[in-house]
Amino acid sequence: MTETPTRRRATFNTLTVKNVRKLTSDAVEVIFDVPADLAEDYNYVPGQYVALRATIDGKEVRRSYSICSEPTPGEVHVAIKKDFGGVFSTWANETLAAGDTIDVMNPQGAFISKKNITSMNNPDQVASDALAGGNLHLVAFAAGSGITPIMSIARSVLGQSEQTTFDLVYANKSAMDVMFAEELGDLKDKYPTRFAVHHVLSREQRVSELMSGRIDAAKLESLLDHVIRTEATDEWFLCGPFELVQLCRDTLAERGVSEDDIRYELFTTGKPEQPTGQQGRTVEADPAGANFAISFTLDGTSSRVESPTSAHETLLNAALRVRADVPFACAGGVCGTCRAKVIEGDVEMEENYALEKDEVDAGYVLTCQSRPCSDSVKIDFDA
């Protein structure tokens, strides 16, 4: 049986764009062809993402995008919304076309339904659990392109069990900004009693006051009181900007919802991206010997780098100076691609929006967010 780990070694492969489909005036769906010899590397669980890498105006740019399709043999679909001033998203929306090739990382991420049997590893178990009555009630709050992984999860869980129900609260500025409007309509037609989508539009007056305006604390409380069957919800999915996700997490915690039942994924942390790669390479070891000694294993090969204590750079930046293939995507503590296990020494992790508590307890860190605290540190990207 093919394994689809939620955490696996990140590797890039060059894939061909099969099709680019307009979703809204500023968003496209990009479909990549996955050749048969890479099929195993690109199987995925609904909710996972891929990182894309391209050279734009002479600079390497990496961005992560959630997969929006159900697992489809030979294909990976992502949705890319044009961000204001976004180099990669603008390039993808305006330039990327069928037949182009681009580097695509194998699927990663733990934003998946843990309550539902979503893994493609055990199709027999999926079928039997569904028949046994996996009558889950799942709720998602998505904003803008945060709908992308939710599409994949909703399609999958609703198709796997005839009892599962799914409520989606989807926030946008206006109806024109709603991504996958047609597909959401199709899903509603297909599962009229099991799937409900509640559009909240911040810049459009809807019939219901509750569905108009920004989702703030008061509106969220009302939605949880009057729209969502909060008490009956088995698992929550939150995907959008930091403020909305944090508001939902805090409010659900106040209502006694266990952290274990909440999955979340952020667009960004709202902080500027940290320097990596080229910038990192300008740091040099201190000849006076005031350095951190960082050893790491990647793809079975061990490397070592001296990192000046004065710079106190991240483990990722230090590692990139000696190995260009060290995995990363967002560099902001959001995606989890740069994960490694600390084998020796102490490190301090600044932000973590990607690792689960049990991973942190087991010694894993995000290397883009971690700095050494002891003279020597040993980490393992393969662990």
CB of 285 to ligand FES, least distance (A): 23
Closer CB to ligand FES, residue 179 or residue 329? 329
Per-position x/- string for 81-120, each x denoting binding to ligand FES as judged by CB under 6 A, each - no binding: ----------------------------------------
- Whole-angstrom Cα distance, residue 270 to residue 287? 37
* Least distance from ligand FES to the Cβ atom of residue 339, Å: 7
Q: In angstroms, what is the minimal distance from the CB of 366 to ligand FES?
A: 5
Q: Please provide residue 32's backbone torsions phi and psi, each rounded to the nearest 5 degrees.
A: -100, 140
Close Cβ partners of 162 (under 8 Å, ≥ 6 residues apart): 130
> Does residue 336 touch ligand FES according to CB under 6 A?
yes
Is 280 one of the binding residues for ligand FES (CB under 6 A)? no
- Give the nearer residue to ligand FES in terms of CB position, either 101 or 279: 279
Least distance from ligand FES to the Cβ atom of residue 233, Å: 28
Among 147, 179, 338, 342, binds ligand FES (CB under 6 A): 338
**Which residue number, 160 or 369, has a Cβ lying nearer to ligand FES?**
369
CB nearer ligand FES, residue 152 or residue 337: 337
| Range list of β-strands (E), the chain | 12-24, 27-33, 49-56, 59-66, 75-81, 101-105, 137-143, 165-172, 195-201, 235-240, 262-266, 291-298, 301-308, 339-344, 347-349, 364-366, 370-372, 376-380
Which residue type, as a one-letter code, is found at position 95? Answer: T
Q: Residue 275 has what DSSP assignment? A: P
**328, 349, 371, 381: residue in contact with ligand FES (rule CB under 6 A):** 328
Q: Least separation, in Å, of the C-beta of 331 and ligand FES?
A: 5
By CB under 6 A, is residue 315 in contact with ligand FES?
no
The answer to whether 52 contacts ligand FES (rule: CB under 6 A) is no
Residue 191 in contact with ligand FES, rule: CB under 6 A? no
Decide whether 203 or 312 has the Cβ nearer to ligand FES: 312
From residue 120, give the alpha-carbon distance in Å to each of 40, 124, 148, 175, 217: 11, 9, 19, 34, 37
Minimum CB–partner distance for residue 121 and ligand FES (Å): 25
Q: How far apart are the first and last CA of the chain?
A: 22
Size of the site for ligand FES (CB under 6 A): 13
The least CB distance from residue 314 to ligand FES, in Å, is 9
* Alpha carbon 334 to chain centroid, angstroms: 7
Letter string b/e over residues 162-176, b meaning 16 or more CB atoms within 10 A of that residue's CB? eebbbbbbbbbeeee
Q: Which residues pair with 142 in a beta bridge?
A: 170, 239
Give the helix ranges, DSSP H, for 40-131.
Answer: 87-94, 123-131
Candidate residues 79, 187, 331, 379; the one interacting with ligand FES per rule CB under 6 A: 331
Nearer to ligand FES, 139 or 330 (CB): 330
Which stretches does DSSP call E strand in 325-373? 339-344, 347-349, 364-366, 370-372
Residue 16 to residue 255: CA distance in whole angstroms: 47
CB count within 10 Å of CB 131 equals: 11
Provide the sign of the torsion angle of the four alpha carbons 231, 232, 234, 238, taken in this order: negative
Among residues 228, 354, 365, 377, which is the contact residue for ligand FES, using CB under 6 A?
354
CB atoms within 10 A of CB 346: 11
Asked if 330 is part of the footprint of ligand FES (rule: CB under 6 A), the reply reads yes
Q: Would you say 62 or 155 has its CB closer to ligand FES?
A: 62
Instruction: Check residue 165 for interaction with ligand FES (CB under 6 A).
Output: no
Q: Which residues bind ligand FES (CB under 6 A)?
A: 328-331, 333-338, 354, 366, 368
